[in-house]
Amino acid sequence: MLAPLKQFSEKRSAWFLLAFSSLALESTALYFQYGMGLQPCVLCVYERLAIIGLLIAGIIGLLQPRALIIRLIALALGLFSGIKGLLVSFRHLDLQMNPAPWKQCEFIPNFPETLPFHQWLPFMFSPTGSCNESQWSLFGVTMVQWLVFIFAVYVIILALLLIVQVVKTRKQRRIFN
Protein backbone atom coordinates (compact mmCIF):
# COMPACT_ATOMS: atom_id res chain seq x y z
CA MET A 1 0.00 0.00 0.00
CA LEU A 2 2.86 2.40 0.73
CA ALA A 3 4.83 1.71 -2.45
CA PRO A 4 2.25 3.31 -4.81
CA LEU A 5 2.18 6.44 -2.65
CA LYS A 6 5.95 6.71 -2.76
CA GLN A 7 5.94 6.18 -6.52
CA PHE A 8 3.26 8.88 -6.84
CA SER A 9 5.41 11.35 -4.88
CA GLU A 10 8.27 10.73 -7.32
CA LYS A 11 6.21 11.95 -10.26
CA ARG A 12 5.90 15.55 -11.40
CA SER A 13 2.14 15.18 -11.66
CA ALA A 14 1.83 14.88 -7.86
CA TRP A 15 3.70 18.13 -7.30
CA PHE A 16 1.91 19.81 -10.16
CA LEU A 17 -1.38 18.85 -8.49
CA LEU A 18 -0.24 20.46 -5.23
CA ALA A 19 0.94 23.62 -6.98
CA PHE A 20 -2.13 23.87 -9.20
CA SER A 21 -4.64 23.29 -6.41
CA SER A 22 -3.02 25.90 -4.17
CA LEU A 23 -2.81 28.36 -7.08
CA ALA A 24 -6.51 27.77 -7.75
CA LEU A 25 -7.31 28.44 -4.07
CA GLU A 26 -5.23 31.62 -4.08
CA SER A 27 -6.89 32.80 -7.29
CA THR A 28 -10.29 32.09 -5.78
CA ALA A 29 -9.40 34.17 -2.72
CA LEU A 30 -8.40 37.09 -4.93
CA TYR A 31 -11.62 36.70 -6.94
CA PHE A 32 -13.65 36.78 -3.73
CA GLN A 33 -11.84 39.98 -2.73
CA TYR A 34 -11.78 41.87 -6.01
CA GLY A 35 -14.54 40.22 -8.03
CA MET A 36 -17.16 39.79 -5.32
CA GLY A 37 -16.07 42.62 -3.02
CA LEU A 38 -15.54 40.47 0.10
CA GLN A 39 -13.22 42.02 2.68
CA PRO A 40 -10.39 39.77 3.96
CA CYS A 41 -9.48 39.89 7.63
CA VAL A 42 -6.07 39.39 9.21
CA LEU A 43 -6.64 35.67 9.64
CA CYS A 44 -7.69 35.44 5.98
CA VAL A 45 -4.35 37.03 5.10
CA TYR A 46 -2.51 34.44 7.22
CA GLU A 47 -4.50 31.65 5.55
CA ARG A 48 -3.54 33.06 2.15
CA LEU A 49 0.10 33.00 3.16
CA ALA A 50 -0.23 29.34 4.15
CA ILE A 51 -1.69 28.61 0.71
CA ILE A 52 1.28 30.42 -0.85
CA GLY A 53 3.55 28.14 1.20
CA LEU A 54 1.78 25.12 -0.28
CA LEU A 55 2.23 26.60 -3.76
CA ILE A 56 5.97 27.07 -3.18
CA ALA A 57 6.22 23.51 -1.85
CA GLY A 58 4.57 22.24 -5.04
CA ILE A 59 7.00 24.25 -7.17
CA ILE A 60 9.99 22.92 -5.22
CA GLY A 61 8.71 19.37 -5.68
CA LEU A 62 8.30 20.00 -9.41
CA LEU A 63 12.00 20.85 -9.75
CA GLN A 64 13.31 17.32 -9.24
CA PRO A 65 10.71 14.92 -7.79
CA ARG A 66 12.98 11.88 -8.01
CA ALA A 67 15.57 13.41 -5.66
CA LEU A 68 14.78 12.43 -2.08
CA ILE A 69 16.19 15.61 -0.56
CA ILE A 70 14.01 17.80 -2.82
CA ARG A 71 10.92 15.76 -1.95
CA LEU A 72 11.71 16.01 1.76
CA ILE A 73 12.21 19.79 1.57
CA ALA A 74 8.97 20.20 -0.39
CA LEU A 75 7.08 17.92 2.00
CA ALA A 76 8.47 19.71 5.06
CA LEU A 77 7.49 23.13 3.71
CA GLY A 78 4.10 21.86 2.57
CA LEU A 79 3.39 20.17 5.88
CA PHE A 80 4.50 23.23 7.84
CA SER A 81 2.28 25.49 5.71
CA GLY A 82 -0.66 23.10 5.94
CA ILE A 83 -0.41 22.78 9.72
CA LYS A 84 -0.05 26.55 10.18
CA GLY A 85 -3.02 27.11 7.87
CA LEU A 86 -5.07 24.56 9.78
CA LEU A 87 -4.25 26.17 13.13
CA VAL A 88 -5.11 29.64 11.84
CA SER A 89 -8.34 28.29 10.35
CA PHE A 90 -9.28 26.71 13.69
CA ARG A 91 -8.71 30.05 15.43
CA HIS A 92 -10.70 31.84 12.73
CA LEU A 93 -13.54 29.35 13.04
CA ASP A 94 -13.57 29.80 16.82
CA LEU A 95 -13.89 33.57 16.40
CA GLN A 96 -16.82 33.13 14.03
CA MET A 97 -18.64 30.39 15.92
CA ASN A 98 -18.11 31.82 19.41
CA PRO A 99 -18.06 35.61 19.03
CA ALA A 100 -17.27 37.66 22.12
CA PRO A 101 -16.12 41.25 22.64
CA TRP A 102 -12.86 40.10 24.24
CA LYS A 103 -12.06 37.69 21.38
CA GLN A 104 -10.87 39.83 18.49
CA CYS A 105 -8.15 39.56 15.90
CA GLU A 106 -5.64 42.29 15.22
CA PHE A 107 -6.14 44.86 12.45
CA ILE A 108 -2.59 44.89 11.10
CA PRO A 109 -0.83 41.63 10.18
CA ASN A 110 1.89 40.59 12.58
CA PHE A 111 4.55 39.68 10.03
CA PRO A 112 8.24 39.76 10.95
CA GLU A 113 9.95 43.08 10.27
CA THR A 114 12.18 41.36 7.73
CA LEU A 115 9.16 40.00 5.80
CA PRO A 116 6.47 42.72 5.73
CA PHE A 117 4.24 41.02 3.16
CA HIS A 118 1.44 43.51 3.80
CA GLN A 119 3.78 46.29 2.64
CA TRP A 120 5.37 44.41 -0.23
CA LEU A 121 2.12 43.03 -1.69
CA PRO A 122 -0.70 45.14 -0.24
CA PHE A 123 -3.21 43.98 -2.86
CA MET A 124 -2.87 40.47 -1.49
CA PHE A 125 -1.96 40.74 2.18
CA SER A 126 -3.68 43.90 3.48
CA PRO A 127 -6.70 43.09 5.64
CA THR A 128 -9.80 45.25 5.56
CA GLY A 129 -12.48 43.03 7.11
CA SER A 130 -13.43 41.63 10.50
CA CYS A 131 -12.54 38.11 11.62
CA ASN A 132 -15.90 37.62 13.32
CA GLU A 133 -18.00 38.05 10.18
CA SER A 134 -18.85 35.23 7.82
CA GLN A 135 -19.37 36.80 4.40
CA TRP A 136 -19.81 33.74 2.18
CA SER A 137 -21.05 30.16 2.36
CA LEU A 138 -21.60 27.25 0.00
CA PHE A 139 -24.11 24.50 0.85
CA GLY A 140 -24.46 26.06 4.31
CA VAL A 141 -20.73 25.71 4.99
CA THR A 142 -18.81 28.95 5.58
CA MET A 143 -15.56 29.83 3.87
CA VAL A 144 -13.59 29.22 7.07
CA GLN A 145 -15.18 25.80 7.53
CA TRP A 146 -14.17 24.94 3.97
CA LEU A 147 -10.63 26.09 4.74
CA VAL A 148 -10.46 23.88 7.83
CA PHE A 149 -11.46 20.93 5.65
CA ILE A 150 -9.05 21.87 2.84
CA PHE A 151 -6.07 22.36 5.15
CA ALA A 152 -6.89 19.10 6.97
CA VAL A 153 -6.86 17.23 3.65
CA TYR A 154 -3.53 18.82 2.70
CA VAL A 155 -2.02 17.90 6.08
CA ILE A 156 -3.23 14.29 5.92
CA ILE A 157 -1.98 13.75 2.36
CA LEU A 158 1.37 15.45 2.95
CA ALA A 159 1.89 13.57 6.24
CA LEU A 160 1.22 10.26 4.48
CA LEU A 161 3.64 11.20 1.72
CA LEU A 162 6.29 12.12 4.29
CA ILE A 163 5.79 8.82 6.12
CA VAL A 164 6.21 6.78 2.94
CA GLN A 165 9.49 8.59 2.21
CA VAL A 166 11.10 7.30 5.41
CA VAL A 167 9.42 3.89 5.77
CA LYS A 168 11.12 1.11 3.90
CA THR A 169 8.82 -0.66 1.52
CA ARG A 170 9.47 -4.32 0.98
CA LYS A 171 9.68 -5.55 -2.53
CA GLN A 172 7.20 -8.15 -3.57
CA ARG A 173 8.59 -11.51 -4.48
CA ARG A 174 7.51 -12.81 -7.77
CA ILE A 175 7.20 -16.52 -8.16
CA PHE A 176 6.82 -16.38 -11.90
CA ASN A 177 8.68 -13.80 -13.94
Contacts of 70 (CB under 8 A, 6+ apart): 60, 61, 63, 64
Which sequence positions are flagged as catalytic?
Answer: 41, 44, 48, 105, 131
Kindly tell me the number of DSSP H helices and DSSP E strands found in the chain.
Answer: 7, 2
Contacts of 125 (CB under 8 A, 6+ apart): 45, 48, 49, 109, 111, 117, 118
- Residue among 116, 117, 93 at smallest CA distance from 105: 93
